[in-house]
Amino acid sequence: MSNQFTKPPHARQDWTIDQGWRAYTDEEHKTWDVLYQLLMKVLTTRAAPEFLSGLEALDLHRGGIPEFERMSDELEALTGWRVVAVPGLVPDEVFFEHLANRRFPAGNFIRKPDQLDYIQEPDVFHDVFGHVPMLTDPVFADYMVAYGEGGLRSLRHASLKNLAALYWYTVEFGLIQTNQGLRIYGAGIVSSPAESVFSLEDPSPNRVAFDLRRLMRTDYRIDDFQQTYFVIESYDQLFRATVDTDFGPLYADLQGEFDFKPEDVVATDKVISKGTQAYANKGGRFAA
């Protein structure tokens, strides 16, 4: 998500900038295409149907980095959302304000060819390929608006940390149960070829049924594959569980702290598969 830092001089008051689509080089468009092809090899049988149909609906398969204005016109017709360009991570309040107004802020830069597997700051590939397809689903689109409004509220409670865990374990790293088994809808997973396979097939991580309170009490990893994935039954379940709950008392209870470590399995969990944690115990991506 986001941090606090100073606004670059070329950014507007709301931190948006022009995408500068014409300035992308052939090499940059090619980076998009290489990643797109790489991901589609693993995602056609692993991503949620709503993600895959979202890619189609927005013509993201056409090749090259999409032009935000063109894509936003198509997206707006479906769910009222638009994609706006930002220089990178933006302050929390700015981020939430955009979401609450159906604007998804996306970085306009793309990773270098030697960073195909891992980047620290979300680029246009993660932000657009990862997040935007799900915004074509009406229920998920409304969830993201509610999240933005809830985010503004969490800042007044100093409880961003617990709300950030919700974003992390759903929007970024969520799995969903479907007729064809578990599928991925989280943007952080679908934009990583390796984690797309790991999240569904590796014996290491726990896969646990979504439980709002449990999840908001759980710390998470930002530097490696997740040690636990939470599985929703439907976007409606996610929307209802979060919108129908007043987070005020929850925030007061949690005091901005986490009770559970990323790898914990707790007594109340509905466990889908208990992980061995072999990957993390070997040292994860830093293993020799």
- HEC states along 104-166? EEEECCCCCHHHCCCCCCCCHHHHHHHHHHHHHCHHHHHHHHHHHHHHHHHHHHCCHHHHHHH
Size of the site for Fe ion (CB under 5 A): 1
What are residue 47's phi and psi, to 5 degrees? -80, 155
Catalytic residue, chosen from 2, 154, 159, 172, is 172
Active site residue 98: no
**169 touching ligand PHE, by CB under 6 A:** no
Contact criterion met (CB below 8 Å) for 79 and 145:
no
**159 touching ligand PHE, by CB under 6 A:** no
Stretch that binds Fe ion, among 49-57, 101-109, 155-163, 187-195 (CB under 5 A): 187-195
Closest among 55, 88, 82, 56 to 69, alpha carbons compared:
82
State whether the Cα torsion 276-168-134-224 is positive or negative: negative
- Both tokens assigned to 122: 């979300």
**96 touching ligand PHE, by CB under 6 A:** no
**162 touching ligand PHE, by CB under 6 A:** no
Calpha distance 19→132 (Å, rounded): 16
**147 touching ligand PHE, by CB under 6 A:** yes
Q: Taking CB under 6 A as the rule, which mask of x and - marks residues 205-244 in contact with ligand PHE? A: -------------------------------------xx-
Calpha distance 23→166 (Å, rounded): 36
* Minimum distance of Fe ion from residue 188's CB (angstroms): 6
177 binds, among Fe ion, ligand PHE, none (CB under 5 to 8 A by kind): none
242 binds, among Fe ion, ligand PHE, none (CB under 5 to 8 A by kind): ligand PHE
147 binds, among ligand PHE, Fe ion, none (CB under 5 to 8 A by kind): ligand PHE
Active site residue 2: no
Stretch that binds Fe ion, among 180-188, 213-221, 229-237, 280-288 (CB under 5 A): 180-188
Catalytic residue, chosen from 2, 131, 199, 204, is 131
Active site residue 126: yes
Q: What residues line the site for Fe ion (CB under 5 A)?
A: 187
Catalytic residues: 126, 131, 172, 191
Which residues of the shown chain bind ligand PHE in the complex (CB under 6 A)?
Answer: 146-147, 150, 153, 166, 242-243, 245-247
